[in-house]
Structures are given as structure tokens and as C-alpha cells.
Structure 1
Amino acid sequence: PSYYRTDSILTLRTSGGNHVTVKIVKVFTPFSRSQVALVRTTEGLRDLPPLFIIKTFDPRFYVTRFNRKGVNVWPWSLQAEADAEALRRRGTPKQWQYDLPDKGDLVGWEQYCYQRMDYDFSNEVKAYDRLQHFQGDHIPSFYGEAELVTTDVKRAIVPRTLLIEYIPDALPIHKINKELITPTLAKSFLTLIKSFHACGVVHNDLHRGNILVAGGSKNDQTRAVFIDFGEACLREDETEEEWAATVRFCGDTKCMLRQLQECLGTD
């Protein structure tokens, strides 16, 4: 859309009802389960930093709508979105989140995309809440929630967005000089993952783009940073044995070891 471009001006409405105006500095594409951009504040709240990340969960651009070639096979429409919203307002039970609607069920597709976005959004907020101790150090600080008011077409819903810390000196692990990945740093990645698990959070999406190394300047020691908890598995009422099985099944530790081996060129 036209408003997801460099230098575009967006208006956000925070959970407290305040309006914040931001200017897009960079858009991170391609979009997948969310739409991510680096923005600069131009007007609004003083307690937000000049630069931060907005991560928007807009069902209009949900990844399932597009095939592998990027063609939109399930186009959004205002009428279908409005009909789906009307059903939700009437308290229509939600479909199970993984049930795909029939091909011709346009309203069903809008319901499906909305509930997946709603699930991913809520899931990431819960993950940040459980990992508060690590914010600002080994995961980005979470500033809060907002709604994306700006749009290029009439909408029946207002997409929600997360306001997240921007870490300017952090790079994906595969773009780091391997000499900076010391045994201590490598071990810290694995230790952090276990600490997340102890807090009831399995990352569940540890590809190299979500594993960062920050710092490395003369006055700043390198540190492990993890981002993107949209696909996290969260512990609810599982027993210790059940949670251990979930941790093994998701395979965070194996994924992290594989990334370290690939980056270091070791077995």
C-alpha cells in the first residue's frame, strides 16, 4: 500500500487514546505474518524514543493470502471484512484458528485472517510480558500497543500494532564477523533460550534473521539478542513433563546450535 513506503507519514493511536505521528524511515519487506517498519516520531508522546519499530498485524496483508510467487489469491474486500466484523460483534464463535475456509467463502477468509492476526498479536504481547527481565538487553524493549489509524482505503477494522525498541547496532548472526562470536557469546545464546523456556516461552522461529548480535564497539561488549516472538509457544497449564515435551518438539536449542555451526563453519 502507498502508506508503507519510505517518508510516508502514519498516525498511531495508543492504548491510552493519544495520537502519535511518525515518519517511515525503512520498511522491512517482504511482509509475512506482520508488517514491520522503522519509524521516526514527528509529533506525539515524549516518552517514546525518536526511532522505534512498529510491527503491525493487518489481516489485509496476511501471508496466507499470497501464493509462493507473491500473487494475491485471496484478495481483501471491504464488504467481506465488514461482514466478518459484524459476525464478531454479534458474538459468532470463532473458527479453530488453523481451519482454512472453503475457497468461495470470502467472509470466512476474512474471519480466518483476522483471527490469525489477533492470535499472533496477543501471543507476542504475552511473550514480551513474560520476558520483561530480558527487555532492553537480550530482547527489544516493548513500549506498548497502538492502532494504525492511517489507511489508503476505507476499513471495517483498525489494525493493531506493537511499538518496539530499535537496536541500531544489532546485526543478524550470519552477518557478523565470526571472530566476534566467542565461546562465551555462543554459550549465552543457548543459556538465554533455556531461560526463556523457564519463563514459559519457546521462541519457535529461530531462523538467522531473528538471532542478532549487538554491540561490538570499543566500549560496548557484544551480546545476544532475539527478536520476533510472533510464533512463540507459551506455557499455559501444562505439567512439567508436558512442557518439556513441547520444548523438545519446537526444537529451539537444535535450531540455535545449527545456526551457530553454520556461522562458525564448524561441526
Structure 2
Amino acid sequence: MGHEEAECPYAVGNIISLQLDASHNQQTVEAKITRVFEPFTLSCVMLVSLEPPVLGLDDQMVLKLFDRRFVVEFREMWGIDSWTPDIEQQFQQFVMDNSGSEFITRLKADDKLVDKEGDSWNNLQDEAWVHYRMQDFYNRETEVYHTMRDIQGKDIPRLFTSVNIPGSPSSRYTDVSGILVQYIDGFELYALGDSTPSQFWQSVCEDAIRIVRLFGNRGILNQDVNVRNFIVQKGPAGIFKPSMIDFATCRFRREYKDEHDWREWKSRQDEEGAVGFVMQRMLKGGYAYHRSAYYRQLDYEFKMDE
């Protein structure tokens, strides 16, 4: 590339200044990174503590930053060059020009633009598209948390606040959006067989599928349901409880043209089976998956010819 890649600031021991959302008077706080969850895919995820503790928030929280610069796996997956300070300087100039703002307007108007024209884009257009996708991921994740607010702290983590890291004063396209959410100290659902006695397997898996169904009942299609996106925690009474995490790729009922389209995509995604069938296979008889009437009907409607 001819340019040295910049060192990622999201490392253990580093301190990040965060601007909290309007509900917290846009207060600025310092977050010390105590753990980093790599690789960075759709967001940069880390465990942080606020110094000093403020607003009655937990001692440790998960910070998710939708930072286009350092989502390494996302950039690699789409064949986009690694971020450098030189690219950033050019990008800031690009988004201040009319051509840059017009391009971003086109991105917002047509979410299929990357499929139509992406192969011909230059580095700066690529950078603008990654920014657009990061903001979309942030918007989707926060909408899910607000839609499912009644199960926060029970079946999904609690959302404490949205945050922002301001970029260039002259352009909002260099800001970094993020969230602070509850840290659930546990293990991923796929490790259930190695982490709990077998008498808990059926109830934990059934609880995970119950959460999947709650999302569907609220008009949410989670494109990233898998056994790594549930964290299982042992409670004080010795009961193991799963919680679903990561909602950046969720879609909503309003995005589908009609009920048939919605049901067809629910069938294709098969969120319930992505947990039930997989865990039944992994636990080798220790868990029996009972498919719901809703998904049996979807199978009848859309999979009879397969």
C-alpha cells in the first residue's frame, strides 16, 4: 500500500474519552479498557471501567464502538484497504466536498448501491460506504435494545447509554457511535456441554429458543442468530441463564414488502433452527429440539420442495 498502518487505540490499559447521550446531558467520561474482545468484526468490542465511576453505572461494562477505521474483519471481508492516517486525511476532505456529500446521499437512498457499483469505487468511496454501514449497524442495534427494553437485564444485556467519540469538528462523518451495555460474565452457548452438568442442557437451550421467539414476535429478524451469540451465566441459585447479544444485523418487519415476503425470509433465516438443530447435534442426545408450530408451518410453506 505504501503507507504504514496506524496502531489501533483499543488496547488494554488505554483510556478513551466518551460523550454520553442527551439523556445523560452529553457528559464526557473517561473509559479505561480492561479487556479487548478480538477480532473486531462489525464493531470494536471491549470491557471498560469508567474513571471515576459515574451515573450509578456498573463497575465494568461492555463498550461497542462502530468505528469504521478498525473493524478489521469487515474491511477484509469486503476487500477494503486497511485504514491509515493518510486515508483519513483524504476522507475528511472528501466528505467536506460536494462530491463526497452527494455520494453519501446516494448511499442512504439505495442500500444496494454497493452491489451495483462497488467494484468501481475508489478508496474514499469505500471509506464512505464503511462509515454508512457502521452507522446502520449502530442504528439497528440501538433500535433493537429500545424495542426489547422490557427484557433488558433479563434475556438481553441492559443498555446503559449511547456514546459518541467526536471526530473532525467540520464533519459528522468522522464521529464514532457506540453503546455501553451490561457485561455478562459467562460462556458462549456452544460451550454448554463442557461447562454445565447435563441436567441443565434442555432447560438452557429451551430458554435460548424462547428468546429467539420473543424477537420474532416483536417483528425482528436476527440475521446473526448462532450459538456464539448467547452468553450463559450461572446465577446465585445455581441456575444457568442464557442471554442473547449482538443485534447489529437485525432487520425489521417494516423492511419487507408484505407478509409473504416476511415469512419467506423468516423461513430462510430459520433463527430457531440455528440454535435448536445446532445444539441438538452438539449435545448428542443431551438435548431434544422441539420445533415450534410457527416454524413447522414455515417449513410447509417454503421448504416442501427442498
Report TM bin, short chain: 0.7 to 0.9
Query: What is residue 131 of structure 2 aligned with on the other side?
Result: 114
After superposition, give the CA deviation of every residue in 1:189-248 in whole Å (9 maximum; x if it has no partner): 22221111011112221232212212255x242222110001112121654443322211
Unpaired segments of 5 or more residues in structure 2? 1-6, 289-306
Separation of aligned partners in 2, 1:129 and 1:47:
20
Query: What is residue 232 of structure 1 aligned with on the other side?
Result: 250
In the alignment, structure 1 residue 73 sits paired with structure 2 residue 81: yes
2:227–2:274 contact (8 Å) kept in structure 1: no
2:189–2:242 contact (8 Å) kept in structure 1: no
After superposition, give the CA deviation of every residue in 1:23-82 in whole Å (9 maximum; x if it has no partner): 1110000111110000011136323211100100011123342259xx973544123321
2:104–2:128 contact (8 Å) kept in structure 1: no
Count of matched residue positions in the alignment of Structure 1 and Structure 2: 260
Map 1:253-264 → 2, pairs under 5 A: 253-264=272-283
Higher helix proportion, which one?
2
Map 1:32-43 → 2, pairs under 5 A: 32-43=41-52
1:141–1:164 contact (8 Å) kept in structure 2: yes
1:10–1:150 contact (8 Å) kept in structure 2: no
Q: Which has the higher contact order (CA 8 A, sep 6+)?
A: 1
Query: What is residue 174 of structure 1 aligned with on the other side?
Result: 190
Separation of aligned partners in 2, 1:111 and 1:137:
37
Separation of aligned partners in 2, 1:192 and 1:79:
44
In the superposition, the TM-score normalised over structure 1's length comes to: 0.86
In the alignment, structure 1 residue 135 sits paired with structure 2 residue 152: yes
Map 1:195-234 → 2, pairs under 5 A: 195-217=214-236, 219-234=237-252
In the superposition, the TM-score normalised over structure 2's length comes to: 0.76
Query: What is residue 300 of structure 2 aligned with on the other side?
Result: none
1:97–1:112 contact (8 Å) kept in structure 2: no
- The SS at the match of 2:261 is helix
In the alignment, structure 1 residue 25 sits paired with structure 2 residue 22: no
Query: What is residue 13 of structure 2 aligned with on the other side?
Result: 7
**CA spacing shift, 1:233–1:215, aligned 2, 3 Å:** same
Separation of aligned partners in 2, 1:37 and 1:150:
20
Give identity over the alignment, percent: 19
1:130–1:200 contact (8 Å) kept in structure 2: no
Deviates more, 1:111-120 or 1:155-164: 155-164
Structure 1 residue 186, shift from structure 2 partner: 2.1
1:34–1:57 contact (8 Å) kept in structure 2: yes
- The SS at the match of 1:182 is helix
Structure number with greater Rg is: 2
Separation of aligned partners in 1, 2:14 and 2:64:
16
In the alignment, structure 1 residue 161 sits paired with structure 2 residue 175: no
Deviates more, 1:157-166 or 1:200-209: 200-209
